[in-house]
Amino acid sequence: MAEAKISPGKKRFGKLLGLTLVGLVTLFIVFNVGSFGGSGRINSAPILESNGRYKVDQLKYPKYTGRKEKATFVTLARNDDLYSLLPAIKSVEDRFNHKFQYDWVFLNDEEFTDEFKRVTSSLVSGTTKYGLIPKEQWSFPPDIDQQRAAETRRQMKADKIIYGDSISYRFMCRYESGLFYRHPLMQEYEWYWRVEPDVKLYCDIDYDVFKFMRENNKKYGFTISIKEYEATIKSLWATTKQFIDQHPEYLAKNNMLDFISDDEGSSYNLCHFWSNFEIASLDLWRSPAYSAYFEHLDKAGGFFYERWGDAPVHSIAAALFLNRDEIHHFDSMGYFHPPFHACPVDDDVRLSHKCDCNPNQDFTWKGYSCTTKFYTVNGLTKPKNWQLHAE
């Protein structure tokens, strides 16, 4: 067979074509191939800028465009709480809020500093709002006997009762009990989630908790329940019974008296929801029942003549003025407020929600917790393994 011959001209053309293709492929690689970004597309490699920093493609969460409830986070804080508050904000944002981007209201009895506003707003995915508490709401009511109140503080300090001699703590308890929801910044909202410094969420929350509350007719949600320090609320139940005697119409038909009393209302068993975590309807506190109840308590002076806390006040009100099925235990969130942990003890729940807590530290089913009682009086099914974590 005769050998095929290629002319010199065609050889040069083929070589030129090959070099051209190599060059085009090289240019494509240089300008388009780099490290793969989180979005799945190919990004250019980081570029060193003139200021000595690398320019990189940053992954940004998409703006949430679904329907949102009229809801906000609310935090009562001072400027010096900033750096103990940041991990709490970051935890809530990482576990929940970056998905839904709800607003966050910060309240203070002093003006927030520019640093506080700048740093907190950088962490919150929703809109941040900063409010000043009116002086008349962060002070002694005019009818309080200052001498009697001072004597209470001296005695509680001698008795080594925590915050027993603190004036500001009493202002805080009174404000959280019956005044925070009256702030102008809160008026556009129907729901709130209370967050405090030093708290942490342990588990992913992949659903809108505010939507859950509305759709399931829940009005108050908690994670931890506990018994109150009796020395701080000696007359709270007697004062409450006076109110109920005067206003029996405010009692819910299917109330949860059996959660807060073991003797059909003769005495208070000290059980309450730990109010440093609350997800609740603002309509509960704005209701005629609670408005009248708080006014009754405020006139009695127990926030200052004793040391009534907002946790037992809110809990007693929720138990009496709501139907029992309107109160919800968030059992799969995982929550920490020093010194107590709420960690799902059901392995399936804990792992499916990517919780990073130790179930052996869970407080939920311990003897000093009231959550076992909450499940018992409401006929609820306890989670798998709960007995392994009870005392």
Cα–Cα separations (whole angstroms), residue 119 to 81, 127, 128, 389: 12, 13, 11, 39
Max CA distance (Å), the chain: 123
Structure tokens at 263: 């003797």
Contact by Cβ (8 Å): 284, 315: no
Residue 69 annotated as catalytic: no
Q: What does the alpha-carbon distance between residue 56 and residue 191 come to, in Å, rounded to a whole number? A: 39
- Per the listing, tokens 């990073």 go with 356
Q: What does the alpha-carbon distance between residue 351 and residue 59 come to, in Å, rounded to a whole number? A: 26
- Per the listing, tokens 């109160």 go with 327
Question: Of 93, 278, 306, 326, which is the active-site residue?
Answer: 278
CB contact set of 247 (below 8 Å; sequence gap of 6+): 289, 292, 293
CB contact set of 146 (below 8 Å; sequence gap of 6+): 140
The CB-based long-range contact list for 157-162 (8 Å cut-off, 24+ gap) reads 159/231, 161/229, 161/231, 161/232, 161/307, 162/229
Concatenating the DSSP letter of every residue in 372-386 gives HHHHHHTTPPPPTTG
Phi and psi for 220 in degrees, rounded to 5?
A: -145, 130
Q: What does the alpha-carbon distance between residue 78 and residue 175 come to, in Å, rounded to a whole number? A: 14
Q: What does the alpha-carbon distance between residue 273 and residue 316 come to, in Å, rounded to a whole number? A: 9
Q: What is the layout of strands, in order, in the sheet containing 335-337?
A: 200-201, 335-337, 340-342
Helices 167-178, 288-300: inter-axial angle, 10-degree rounding = 160
Cα first-last separation, the chain: 96
Q: What is the three-class DSSP state of 101?
A: coil
Q: Which residue numbers are catalytic?
A: 278
